[in-house]
Every structure is written in structure tokens, then in C-alpha cells.
Amino acid sequence: MPKQVDHAARRAEIAHAALRLCARDGLTGVSIGRVAQEAGVSKGLVQHYFPAKADLLRASAYLLRQEIERHVRAALLDAVSPADILRRTLLAVVELGTRAPVLLLAGHAFLATAVSDPDVRELYRAGGDMVHREIAALVAATAPEPGIDAGAEAHVLLRLARGLADGVLVGELGVAEAVAVLDHQLGRIGLPADL
């Protein structure tokens, strides 16, 4: 009887290997051969699922977004209000610095390459635009202080959370300090800390 192959699992395994390489060596360090070595499979198998490096990078970017969303969803399991969802979402981003550094570093690799590569830029921007819209909707739904521009505030909060995640990653500050900074900014727009 022929062996059953789970093609989706095999593709995911290869994309995870590419993501680890992105985090360690940047996107320029990703090649079909290096991904095959990282995944412990043949180069031909990688090419079977991903004929070109661009295909592999697209799959890695998609996987990166899925994994970050999975971390955020886990943080939202018992959230009780839009303000609580907003805070927990931002905290999940901050905590990537300790809980999922590979995702954080791979995201930086995509950002660095997006500056000069229009295809990667489009992948990066599509994910960023989606997240921005979701955060802006949460800011608007929390009924913050009058006159707050939800879209602008979403940019501020996302950049702050990402910067705090970087600080946590490199040990500039602990998670508790990062949370205090985030709560300070949320308080500035009328949201109480520790919802």
C-alpha cells in the first residue's frame, strides 16, 4: 500500500524552515538549498512544493501572518470588551519579543527587504494594512476621548507595540515595563489600564 503524504503538513514544514532562516539570516539567506537543509528534506522536494524562491517567500510571509494571528487569538480567548481586545492584541504583539522571537525577527527580515523589493513590499503592506484596519476599528469601538483620530491612533499604538517588542527582545526592558508604557499610551486616549 502506498505511503500517504500529508501535502499541507509538508508544505507547512518547509515554510517553517524558511521562516527560521528568514529570522536568522534575513531573506537574502533563504535559498531552495538552504531551506532543504534546514527542513531536513531534499532540494527537489522543496522545489516540488515551491518552484521558485519567490513562491517560498510568499508562503513564509503568509505563514508568518498566520502564526502571529494565532498568538493574538490565544491572547483574546476570554476578552470581554473592545477595549480589552485592543489591549490584549497590543500586548500579544509586545510579548512576541519573549514568546515568539522567530516571528518578530522574520518580520524584520521582510521589512528590511521590502524597502528594495516591490513584491515583498506588497506582501508586507497587505498584512500591515489589515492589522491597522482592525486596530483602528477597535480604537473607534472603545469610545475614547473626543477628537481622537482612530486611524492615526492605530498607527501610534501599533508602532509602539512593535517597538516595545523589540525592546523586550533585546533586553532593553522587561515585559512588565513594556506593559506599563503601553498602558500609559492607552490612558492618554481615555482607556483604563488593566481592563
Residue 194 is predicted with a pLDDT of: 56
pTM of the entire predicted model: 0.84
DSSP the chain: -PPP--HHHHHHHHHHHHHHHHHHH-GGG--HHHHHHHHTS-HHHHHHH-SSHHHHHHHHHHHHHHHHHHHHHHHTTT--SHHHHHHHHHHHHHTHHHH-HHHHHHHHHHHHHHTT-HHHHHHHHHHHHHHHHHHHHHHHHT--STT--HHHHHHHHHHHHHHHHHHHHTTSS-HHHHHHHHHHHHHHTTPPS--
The pLDDT value recorded for residue 113 is 82
pLDDT in tens, the chain (195 residues): 557 778 889 999 999 999 999 999 988 889 999 999 999 999 999 999 999 988 998 888 888 888 988 998 999 999 988 999 999 999 999 999 899 999 999 989 988 888 888 877 887 788 788 889 999 999 988 866 778 899 999 999 999 999 999 999 999 999 999 999 999 999 888 876 655
Q: What is the pLDDT of residue 46?
A: 95
Question: Could you read off the pLDDT of 97-137 as tens digits, one per residue?
Answer: 899 999 999 989 988 888 888 877 887 788 788 889 999 99
**Class of residue 105 by CB neighbours under 10 A (exposed 0-12, middle 13-18, buried 19+):** buried
Q: Whole-angstrom Cα distance, residue 54 to residue 121?
A: 13
